[in-house]
């Protein structure tokens, strides 16, 4: 059942985009970045790095996307740094997408989805998930997301060059990537989960997939690096997270070429913004440059 005060992630994201522009900035404390910032590659350096990014950008961009791998590599103390940062970023007005790319059988996905429950110590607004065990294995996470006003971004056509080896494979005349997009599109319809209490009809009143109108809480990941858009996003009714800008070679022109202007796209950049640190003003200026270019 949907908690009465749970504003759906899709609506909160659309509001953030209307206020701040569509940019998502990734918090990826690579070892090399910690050293470039004059920090140590340990928990103290990790904390300082994260604090500075949160101070610079929470509430300034639509989404912050901490990459869990860079915290996990420092063990439990690294995860504690991430947890404190998530709490602080959300208190400062940020929407937080935890990039952890979880994917498992349904009963285990149910546990991963607890990240989306408000009572979780590291509660986040949305989570990245991997559909390799079949999109249906993610249903329990989608159910929790819908109940708690959270969001999911499912890997569909990833930005890395190897992605197509599996994502282009076909079954039943559709590519694996298309199966993923179609499954996510179903989550974004009001009749998904028939038998559960009906969700707020206003949440589904207008799902044209454009900012300014409500978009669904379930999105897909499609890289800005693709040579061409080889999935049909018409039935998605939700946002597209587009990584691969800057360090991986993607540009704003690539976003336009791939997605045009009629789609709810959240471009995400990590290193290209983080390289501007550790100065807070310089980090803000780097993010602002992307936002201006995206809006132009
Ligand atoms: O297809 C994907 C899915 C996720 N990512 C993640 O996004 C950032 C990209 O970092 P950059 O420094 O902007 O290249 C990183 O955390 C990846 O794990 C992706 O790149 N592609």
Q: How many CB atoms lie within 10 A of CB 31?
A: 11
* Mean pLDDT rounded to a whole number for the chain: 92
Whether 267 is in the pocket of ligand 1, judged by its Cβ within 6 Å, is no
Whether 33 is in the pocket of ligand 1, judged by its Cβ within 6 Å, is no
C-alpha distance from residue 1 to each of 4, 7, 40, 146, 149 (Å): 9, 13, 46, 8, 11
Q: Tens digit of pLDDT for each residue in 127-166?
A: 999 999 999 999 999 999 999 999 999 999 999 999 999 9
> Has residue 145 been placed in a domain?
yes
Whether 221 is in the pocket of ligand 1, judged by its Cβ within 6 Å, is yes
Give residue 77's pLDDT band: very low, low, confident or very high (50, 70, 90): very high
When mean pLDDT is compared across 101-110, 117-126, 202-211, the lowest value belongs to 202-211
175 strand-pairing partners: 170
> Has residue 3 been placed in a domain?
no
Distance CA 263, CA 42 (A): 40
**Closest C-alpha residue for ligand 1 atom 7:** 243
> Has residue 174 been placed in a domain?
yes
Whether 286 is in the pocket of ligand 1, judged by its Cβ within 6 Å, is no
Whether 8 is in the pocket of ligand 1, judged by its Cβ within 6 Å, is no
Question: Residue 263's pLDDT is what?
Answer: 86
**Closest C-alpha residue for ligand 1 atom 5:** 243
Report how far ligand 1's centroid is from the alpha carbon of 244 (Å). Answer: 6
Report how far ligand 1's centroid is from the alpha carbon of 201 (Å). Answer: 34
Q: Tens digit of pLDDT for each residue in 236-250?
A: 999 999 999 999 999
Asked if pLDDT for residue 267 goes beyond 50, the answer is yes
Report how far ligand 1's centroid is from the alpha carbon of 196 (Å). Answer: 35
Asked if pLDDT for residue 212 goes beyond 70, the answer is no
**Closest C-alpha residue for ligand 1 atom 16:** 67
> Has residue 2 been placed in a domain?
no
Q: Tens digit of pLDDT for each residue in 31-67?
A: 999 999 999 999 999 999 999 999 999 999 999 999 9
Atom of ligand 1 nearest to the CA of 67: 16
> Has residue 74 been placed in a domain?
yes
> What residues are annotated to the active site?
101
Give residue 5's pLDDT band: very low, low, confident or very high (50, 70, 90): low
- Cα-based torsion angle of the residue sequence 115, 88, 213, 142 in order, rounded to the nearest 10 degrees: 0
221 cis-preceded (ω within 30 degrees of 0): no
Whether 238 is in the pocket of ligand 1, judged by its Cβ within 6 Å, is no
Is 0.85 exceeded by the ipTM? yes
- Cα-based torsion angle of the residue sequence 101, 181, 132, 120 in order, rounded to the nearest 10 degrees: 30
- Rounded to the nearest 10 degrees, the angle between the axes of helix 75-91 and helix 43-57 is 10
> Has residue 283 been placed in a domain?
yes
Give residue 89's pLDDT band: very low, low, confident or very high (50, 70, 90): very high
Give residue 82's pLDDT band: very low, low, confident or very high (50, 70, 90): very high
Residue range 173-190: mean pLDDT, rounded: 95
Distance CA 133, CA 129 (A): 11
Whether 69 is in the pocket of ligand 1, judged by its Cβ within 6 Å, is no
Distance CA 7, CA 42 (A): 37
Give residue 208's pLDDT band: very low, low, confident or very high (50, 70, 90): very low
Report how far ligand 1's centroid is from the alpha carbon of 271 (Å). Answer: 9
CATH of the domain at 67: 3.20.20.70
Report how far ligand 1's centroid is from the alpha carbon of 203 (Å). Answer: 30
**Per the structure, how many domains does the chain have?**
1
Distance CA 71, CA 37 (A): 17
Q: Is the dihedral of CA 97, 103, 106, 109 positive or negative?
A: negative
Q: Which residue bears the tokens 């509001």?
A: 15
Q: Which residue, 128, 124, 107, is CA-closest to 115? A: 124
For the chain, the three-class secondary structure string (H helix, E strand, C coil) is CCCCCCCCHHHHHHHHHHHHCCCEEEECCCHHHHHHCCCCCCHHHHHHHHHHHHHHHCCCCCEEEEECHHHHCCHHHHHHHHHHHHHHHHHCCCCEEEEEEECCCHHHHHHHHHHHCCCCCCCCCEEEECCCCCHHHHHHHHHHHHHHCCEEEEEEECCCCCCHHHHCCEECCEEHHHHHHHHHHHHCCCCCCECECCCCHHHHCCCCCCCCCCCCCEEEEECCCCCCCCCCCCCCCCCEEECCEHHHCECHHHHHHHHCCCCCEEEEECHHHHCCCCCHHHHHHHHHHHHHHHHC
> Has residue 80 been placed in a domain?
yes
Whether 270 is in the pocket of ligand 1, judged by its Cβ within 6 Å, is yes
Residue range 90-109: mean pLDDT, rounded: 98
Atom of ligand 1 nearest to the CA of 268: 13
Report how far ligand 1's centroid is from the alpha carbon of 225 (Å). Answer: 11
The token pair at 176 is 């694996």
Range of the domain at 72: 9-295
> Has residue 55 been placed in a domain?
yes
């Amino acid at each position: 059942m949907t908690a009465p005060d749970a504003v759906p992630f899709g609506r909160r994201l659309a509001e953030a985009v209307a206020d701040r522009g569509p940019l998502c900035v990734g918090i990826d404390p690579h070892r090399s970045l910690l050293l470039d910032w004059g920090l140590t590659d340990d928990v103290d350096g990790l904390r300082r790095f994260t604090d500075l990014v949160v101070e610079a950008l929470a509430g300034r961009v639509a989404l912050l996307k901490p990459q869990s791998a860079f915290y996990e590599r420092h063990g439990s103390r690294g995860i504690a740094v991430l947890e404190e940062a998530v709490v602080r970023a959300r208190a400062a007005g940020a929407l937080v997408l935890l990039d952890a790319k979880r994917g498992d059988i349904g009963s285990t996905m149910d546990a991963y989805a607890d990240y989306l429950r408000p009572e979780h110590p590291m509660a986040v607004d949305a989570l990245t998930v991997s559909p390799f065990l079949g999109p249906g294995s993610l249903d329990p996470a989608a159910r929790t997301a819908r109940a708690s006003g959270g969001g999911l971004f499912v890997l569909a056509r990833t930005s890395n060059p190897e992605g197509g080896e599996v994502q282009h494979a076909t079954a039943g005349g559709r590519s694996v990537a298309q199966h993923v997009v179609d499954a996510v599109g179903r989550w974004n319809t009001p009749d998904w989960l028939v038998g559960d209490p009906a969700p707020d009809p206003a949440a589904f009143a207008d799902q044209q997939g454009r900012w300014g109108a409500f978009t669904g809480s379930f999105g897909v990941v499609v890289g800005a690096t693709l040579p061409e858009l080889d999935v049909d996003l018409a039935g998605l009714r939700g946002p597209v997270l587009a990584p691969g800008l800057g360090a991986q070679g993607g540009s704003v022109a690539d976003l336009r070429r791939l997605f045009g202007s009629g789609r709810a796209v959240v471009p995400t950049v990590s290193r290209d913004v983080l390289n501007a640190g550790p100065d807070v003003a310089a980090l803000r200026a780097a993010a602002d440059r992307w936002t201006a270019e995206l809006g132009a």
